[in-house]
């Protein structure tokens, strides 16, 4: 990888610990600092958009929500959800909902979509440049028993993760193969974020 140019103020608009951890790895590799600001944008999974378009739209809205707070900065927003059999899978609404989602994964597959938005602001937080992109990873599962489901529910922070899937937790051991970016399943496709940051730095 090529060394990053000098960075302006960088803001990650996310409350996800996993996403923050991944972005910290990127920042340490290239030697720049960043701050986190939880976006108050309320996700609307019912919007009539394709999965890639919805992922990019939600990521942009998350970044846009905090833009006015950070003039002369670069802000990164991201949104992750799953799709299976044409249905979009956001965060479970209840434990029962989470169990039903996980049950459907058994000996099947799903796609993890992450939208990423990188925006730059001028004075007063006015947005002057924006980039959006989308990553998709296909996850294939083995058999998941009712006992497995109970273990996943007990250990994983299931109601706060899209598609009730926390690959770093108990559910990860039931994944047989992954096609695509592993980091995307966690919540942030690092290579795309790196490329987008470099492109944005050429514009500001």
Query: Alpha helices of the chain — where are they, by DSSP H?
Result: 17-30, 51-67, 95-105, 146-155, 182-186, 190-203
Q: What's the CA gap between 14 and 17, in Å, rounded?
A: 8
DSSP state of 168: T
Which among 33, 53, 32, 31 is positioned nearest to 44, based on CA atoms? 53
Contacts from 65-68 at CB under 8 Å and sequence distance 24+? 65/13, 65/39, 65/40, 65/41, 66/11, 66/13, 66/37, 66/39, 66/40, 67/119, 67/121, 67/125, 67/126, 67/127, 68/124, 68/125
Catalytically active residues, by annotation: 79
Q: If residue 41 lies in a helix (H) or strand (E), which one and from where to where?
A: none
């Amino acid at each position: 990888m090529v060394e990053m140019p000098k960075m302006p103020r960088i803001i990650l608009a996310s409350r996800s610990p996993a996403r923050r951890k991944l972005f910290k790895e990127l920042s340490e590799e290239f030697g720049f600092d960043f701050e986190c600001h939880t976006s108050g944008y309320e996700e609307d999974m019912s919007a009539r958009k394709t999965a890639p378009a919805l992922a990019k739209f939600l990521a942009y809205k998350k970044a846009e929500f905090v833009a006015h707070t950070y003039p002369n900065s670069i802000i990164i927003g991201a949104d992750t959800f799953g799709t299976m059999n044409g249905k979009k899978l956001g965060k479970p609404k209840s434990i029962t909902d989470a169990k039903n989602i996980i049950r459907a994964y058994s000996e099947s597959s799903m796609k993890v979509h992450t939208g990423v938005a990188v925006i730059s602001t001028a004075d007063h937080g006015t947005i002057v440049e924006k980039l959006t992109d989308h990553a998709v990873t296909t996850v294939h599962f083995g058999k998941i028993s009712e006992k497995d489901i109970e273990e996943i529910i007990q250990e994983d922070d299931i109601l706060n993760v899209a598609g009730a899937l926390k690959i770093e937790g108990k559910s990860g051991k039931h994944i047989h193969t992954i096609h695509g970016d592993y980091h995307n399943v966690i919540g942030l496709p690092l290579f795309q974020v790196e490329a987008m940051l470099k492109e944005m730095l050429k514009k500001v």
